[in-house]
Amino acid sequence: ELKVEQNPLFLSMQEGKNYTIYCNYSTTSDRLYWYRQDPGKSLESLFVLLSNGAVKQEGRLMASLDTKARLSTLHITAAVHDLSATYFCAVGPGNFGNEKLTFGTGTRLTIIP
Amino acid sequence: EPEVTQTPSHQVTQMGQEVILRCVPISNHLYFYWYRQILGQKVEFLVSFYNNEISEKSEIFDDQFSVERPDGSNFTLKIRSTKLEDSAMYFCASRPGGRNIQYFGAGTRLSVL
């Protein structure tokens, strides 16, 4: 059974600081997704990482994938308040057809002014 | 921008009652999914649907659950006899052929009393 673990579960950080969220998964997969969820809202796709060494950046967020270590990171640079949300990583099974996603536990990020 | 639409946003029901949660996926998408998220927990896969049939389902998706795409636009999740533990946020998602990203609706919060 595929397991996806994120850490930390909760992260409180000051504006302007940098931090990294980690996502480990238990089986071979080269499809890794990052989603953002605001309270009571849906899941917004942030990044899709499809190969070993993939790196994607959007604004203050950068995601990377190391399939050999089964690890993805989401790095936040110079955090601002509107990045406060819960961030989920999710792993696809490698079967392109079904693409059932297995989600991590989520990291609740709070940016303090 | 096209989006996945879910109705109702909140459904309250008595234990043992049947509920139908409705979703209108993005119009040219081919793959459809239901996920659920119990309050404070991670998002869990329920079922995937392609070419008018279930392609995969989780252990959660037992005989009390069914899905249907009755008219080529709507995608419904039915729970025949709701239990207290069915209380959760239910998300519908859809994906186009040839692309990896699943697009999520805003969710239906189901409260079983």
C-alpha span between A22 and A40 (Å, rounded): 24
pLDDT above 90 coverage of chain B, percent: 78
Q: Across residues B72-94, what is the average pLDDT?
A: 95
Whole-number pLDDT of residue A99: 72
Contacts of B58 in chain A (CB under 8 A): 100
In whole angstroms, what is the distance from residue B3 CA to residue B10 CA? 19
Give the one of B42, B56, B104 whose C-beta lies nearest to A42's C-beta: B104
Using CB atoms, which residue from B42, B48, B101 is nearest to A105?
Answer: B42
Q: Vertex A23, ends A21 and A28: CA angle to 5°?
A: 160
* Per-residue model confidence as pLDDT tens digits over A52-86: 888 999 999 999 999 889 999 999 999 999 999 99
Asked if B105 has any chain A CB less than 8 Å from its own CB, the reply is: yes
For chain B, give the mean pLDDT.
93
Q: Which residues contact B68 (CB under 8 A, 6 or more apart)?
A: B75, B76, B78
CB distance from B48 to chain A under 8 Å?
A: yes
Residue among A96, A102, A106 whose CB faces B45 most closely? A102
Question: pLDDT class for B47, splitting at 50, 70, 90?
Answer: very high
* Domain assignment of residue A104, given as a range: 4-112
Residue in A43, A90, A99 closest to B31 by CB: A99
Instruction: State whether residue A107 is helix, strand or coil.
Output: strand
**Are B91 and A105 an interchain contact pair (Cβ–Cβ within 8 Å)?**
no
pLDDT reading at A98 higher than 70: no
Distance between CA atoms of residues A71 and A15, nearest Å: 26
- Chain B environment of A99 (Cβ under 8 Å): 31, 48, 95, 100, 102
Give the closest-approach CA distance of A69 to chain B in angstroms. 22
Q: What's the mean pLDDT in B73-78?
A: 94
Nearest CA in chain B to A103: B43
In B, minimum Cα distance to A39 occurs at: B40
Tell me the pLDDT tens digit for each residue of A1-16: 788 999 999 999 999 9
B5-112 maps to which CATH number?
2.60.40.10
Q: Would you say residue A111 has pLDDT above 90?
A: yes
pLDDT of residue B9: 94
Domain boundaries, chain B: 5-112
Task: Collapse the DSSP code of A16 into the 3-class scheme (helix H, G, I; strand E, B; otherwise coil) and give the result.
Answer: coil
Is the pLDDT score of A95 beyond 60? no
**Interchain CB contacts (distance < 8 Å): A and B:** 59
How far apart CA B73 and CA B83 sit, in angstroms, is 28
The predicted-structure confidence for B31-43, as pLDDT tens digits, reads as follows 999 999 998 888 9
Q: What is the CATH number of the domain that holds A52?
A: 2.60.40.10
pLDDT at B100 over 80: no
The string of pLDDT tens digits covering residues A22-40 is 999 998 776 899 999 998 8
* pLDDT (0 to 100) of residue B6: 95
Residue B57 and residue B67 in contact, taking contact as beta carbons nearer than 8 Å: no
Residues A100, B60, A89, A15, CA torsion sign: positive
Number of domains chain A is built from: 1
Interface test with A, best of B26, B42, B92 (most A CBs within 10 A): B42
**How close, in Å, is residue A100 to chain B by CA atoms?**
7
Phi/psi of residue B85, each to 5°? -75, -5
